[in-house]
Amino acid sequence: MGNIIELDEQLANQINAGEVVVRPANAVKELVENAIDAGASRIEVAIEEAGLKKIEVVDNGSGILGEDVPLAIRPHATSKIKAIGDLQRLRSLGFRGEALPSIASISRMTIETSTADESAGSRLVAMGPDILTHEPGAKRRGTKIIVEELFYNTPARLKFIKSLQAEVSQILNIMNRLALAHPEIAFVLTNEGREQLRTAGNGDMRQVIAAVYGMRVAKKIRKIQGEDLDHSITGFVSLPELTWSNRNRISLFINGRYIWNLDLNRAIIEGYGSKLMVGRFPLAVISISMDPHLVGVNVHPTKQEVELSKKEELKNLIRQAIRETLADEVLIPDALENLNGQLKEKPTAAPEPARPAWTAEPVAETISQVEERPSQPLLSPQKEEVIFQELFDAGPQFLDETEEKAQFPALQFLGQLHATYLLCQAEDGLYIVDQHAAQERFKYEYWRDKIGEVQMEQQSLLMPYIFDFPKDEFIQILEQKEGLEVAGVFLEEYGDQQFILREHPTWMPEARIEEVVKEMIDRLLASREISVKALREDLAIMIACKSSIKAHDVLDADSCKRVLTDLASCKNPYNCPHGRPTMVHFTGTDLEKMFRRIMQSHLSKASSWKLSD
């Protein structure tokens, strides 16, 4: 007997389930995506014991024909594609026919479904690979799928479940992404009967962001949009003052599918330029529409990794859309808000602990911090929309993107504090300016413009530079010299392990020629290519930082005023090149509150304030 055998269907399905369903959150994702593909406008998800005991997904979609229900849990049975060419035109989230069979093979599954054309519904119960019952069911358009005892026959999977709390957090994260991808669908998620997420399904992405991340966060976002011949993008990004220490709040969707793409994430960061603090990441929710022929989704079992035919064009579109949105924003942080603000709302997002830079209200960070509400009857979509609208009306209104932005404040210099900060006043309050950050911004813009576009004009050196390298690096540089020559750096062999530089491009500052050339060579050896644009940017930042006044430098009044005048002339006077704010602002109201000149009345139950004499 030979050594190679064909695996039986049950074992093959369980192995396949190991790729598709690693944890309960994967099962929730697959079931909800099926509901979305069925055209549902409302999807309700209920879980018990983080989905290990029970997952219930109810939708009002098109349903499954009774005769097709047994086929639905057969491997590679699908209604999404019929020929290989269909893979190039995919707009559905699922297509392989793996999800339901994989989940059914490791659980007890009940399917109750009905279509508009059938006189009765259908009900099927399966345990592992076996169909226990298949009988007529209630007539209710849509589908209800109940998954119980997940991983009952693959106990090894349970060893990798960290905790129920962590699994609930993962499920909530999946539901948040799906809700952001499809604001036109009303989503409800309950955990042990307690509501964790609810969206109105009225197509307003800003309201979904409020439901997921909280109202205070949603009020610090701005709309972006852009279009080229192949792509259309729309979405929201946070102001630079609202950032986190990781990329967890960046959500990209292509044709309604959540995807992860590091290059597109970088394009978002690059769109902020120097407005974003180094090591900090914004909130971004961006929906991308494109021809299915330009994106390949059949790359990974999770379908989150995709191949893009025109990635560079899409990156440029994202960068440009963000730059245009933030170009005219006045980005002066409110000082009092930074000092004492605490988020009183409990949004449903449950990411890792992190505190935004220069903002008053961090989002609730772990699932244990999420405010759990008692179970309640589901509201009608109309009632939900009213509630969301009331929430928005209750607080300050969003800035109208078409509204003309305020100009740089007319600052009157008052004095220097701790040889580090410049105190100024304006009509709208007190400003504290960081003298180093302010001058660094001015010098950065000066050097960025002075270095300018790469020019091929060369200037001869009176004293050539000689560079020594180890033999292995010397050989690599010889092979890749053309990369340096594109940037205007021409090295000649000079000895066994040496190069000589006799001239330099005019865009390169003479005082830093040796330093810049070494940096270019290091980059060439590391990545085999050089981005001259990125190099110029880094060079301008380096020169600006090293040549600017420092903290604890004592300045006379004229020097302080010159710093303020230079800052006012900048294209972006609100952030240093590293993204830190150049100033903070105390409004007149802030000062009155700090000195208790504005007090809350004890006579009124409402939050009314009055000004003391």
CATH no. for residue 465? 3.30.1370.100
Summarised one tens digit per residue, pLDDT across range 409-447 is 999 999 999 999 999 999 999 999 999 999 999 999 988
End-to-end alpha carbon distance in the chain: 100
Q: Are 502 and 464 in contact (CB under 8 A)?
A: yes
| Residues 189 and 221 grouped into a single domain | no
Residue-level pLDDT at 420: 94
- What are the residues facing 426 on neighbouring strands? 429
| Residues 142 and 179 grouped into a single domain | yes
Q: What would the mean pLDDT of 138-165 be, rounded to a whole number? A: 88
| Residues 193 and 61 grouped into a single domain | yes
* Band of residue 612 on the pLDDT scale cut at 50, 70, 90: low
Percent of the chain whose pLDDT exceeds 70: 74
| Count of domains forming the chain | 3
Last residue of a domain, which of 339, 354, 369?
369
d(CA 331, CA 337): 14
166 inside domain: yes
- What are the residues facing 121 on neighbouring strands? 137
* Band of residue 606 on the pLDDT scale cut at 50, 70, 90: very low
What residue type is assigned to position 316 of the chain? N
| Residues 238 and 121 grouped into a single domain | no
pLDDT of 31 strictly over 60: yes
Q: By residue range, what is the domain housing residue 125?
A: 9-197
DSSP string, 150-161: TTTT-GGGGGG-
Q: Exposed/middle/buried for 338, CB within 10 Å: 0-12, 13-18, 19+?
A: middle
| Residues 145 and 243 grouped into a single domain | no
- Name the least confident of 65-69, 486-490, 583-587: 486-490
Q: What would the mean pLDDT of 194-202 be, rounded to a whole number? A: 94
Sole residue written with tokens 């690059």? 270
Sole residue written with tokens 């008053």? 360
118 inside domain: yes
Summarised one tens digit per residue, pLDDT across range 504-545 is 888 777 888 888 888 888 877 776 666 777 777 777 887 888
| Residues 132 and 63 grouped into a single domain | yes
Task: Report pTM.
Answer: 0.64
Q: What would the mean pLDDT of 572-580 be, rounded to a whole number? A: 88
Residue-level pLDDT at 392: 44
Which residue did the predictor score with more confidence, 385 or 238? 238
488 inside domain: yes
d(CA 244, CA 579): 13
| N residues, the chain | 613
330 inside domain: yes
Residue-level pLDDT at 519: 80
DSSP string, 529-541: ---HHHHHHHHHH
Residue-level pLDDT at 419: 93
**Chain-wide mean pLDDT for the chain?**
79
Distances (CA, A) of 134 to 69, 121, 122, 156: 9, 11, 7, 30
Residue-level pLDDT at 298: 52
Q: Exposed/middle/buried for 32, CB within 10 Å: 0-12, 13-18, 19+?
A: buried
380 inside domain: no
| Residues 192 and 263 grouped into a single domain | no
Q: Are 261 and 306 in contact (CB under 8 A)?
A: yes
Which residue did the predictor score with more confidence, 580 or 301? 580
What one-character DSSP code corresponds to residue 203? S
pLDDT of 395 strictly over 80: no
590 inside domain: no
Residue-level pLDDT at 404: 38
Beta strands in 89-227 (DSSP E): 108-114, 121-127, 130-137, 142-148, 186-191, 194-198, 221-227
| Residues 120 and 222 grouped into a single domain | no
Last residue of a domain, which of 325, 350, 369?
369
411 inside domain: no
* Band of residue 9 on the pLDDT scale cut at 50, 70, 90: low
Query: Residue 517 phi/psi, 5° resolution?
Result: -65, -40
Residue-level pLDDT at 10: 57
Give the CATH number, domain containing residue 348: 3.30.230.10
Residue-level pLDDT at 95: 44
| Residues 320 and 220 grouped into a single domain | yes
Which residue did the predictor score with more confidence, 375 or 590? 590
Residue-level pLDDT at 542: 79
- Name the least confident of 222-231, 297-306, 583-592: 297-306
Tokens of 529: 């290519």
Residue-level pLDDT at 343: 39
| Residues 155 and 233 grouped into a single domain | no
* Band of residue 385 on the pLDDT scale cut at 50, 70, 90: very low
Q: Are 105 and 98 in contact (CB under 8 A)?
A: no
| Residues 504 and 531 grouped into a single domain | yes
Residue-level pLDDT at 458: 87
State the number of CA atoms in the 13 A half-sphere of 130 facing the CB. Answer: 3
pLDDT of 295 strictly over 90: no
Q: What would the mean pLDDT of 460-474 be, rounded to a whole number? A: 86
pLDDT of 386 strictly over 80: no
Q: What would the mean pLDDT of 392-421 be, rounded to a whole number? A: 65
In 3-state terms, what secondary structure has residue 510? helix
605 inside domain: no
Last residue of a domain, which of 165, 197, 229?
197
| Residues 187 and 209 grouped into a single domain | no
Tokens of 15: 């192995």
- What are the residues facing 503 on neighbouring strands? 460
